[in-house]
Amino acid sequence: MSKRTHSQDRGAAPGSPPDALQAVAGGELGSVIERAQWLDRLDALLRQSLPAALAGQCRLANVDKDKLVFLVSAPIWKSKLRLSADILLDAAAAAGLPARTLVVKVVPATPISPGETAGKPLSQAVRESLRTTAQSVGDPELRAQLLKLASLPETR
């Protein structure tokens, strides 16, 4: 007797999980999901009109009546995006939106989680141990990597 997964019980292909968006699309969240998908498509369309470096630093967050609301990670990108306001508003008009105003908000990047932070700096004893180990290793690539580690600055 084989075990059946929940996706198999619902008639989905064996081994494939149900699509979460499809599962809630018919319910109360359907309109929210549709709007999020529409904003995502519009974001991609509007950012195509921007220079690549700038397009990679901004994201459409909302369309509120006649306002396009974009998010950026730093004030410099806010300034650069505001200089491209006419380009974005023209692209929005071409897409059929009556946008007349660009709002740009700075949202700092998400902080790094504790598990992803840099380690402690190496002590002098560890550096000496790495150098000694490097001298005793026959593999030249490993020796080079150990010496590289031993030469890291004390504070990163």
Return the pLDDT at 10. Answer: 45
Q: Which CATH class is domain 28-106?
A: alpha beta
**What was the pLDDT predicted at 116?**
57
| DSSP states of 32-98 | HHHHHHHHHHHHHHHHTTS-HHHHTTEEEEEEETTEEEEEESSHHHHHHHHHTHHHHHHHHHHTT--
> At 12, which amino acid appears?
A
Q: How confident is the model at residue 156 (pLDDT cuts 50, 70, 90)?
A: very low
Gap between the Cα atoms of 21 and 152, Å rounded: 47
| Global pTM value | 0.56
Q: For the chain, which residues make up each domain, given as ranges?
A: 28-106, 119-150
Query: Over the chain, what is the mean pLDDT?
Result: 81
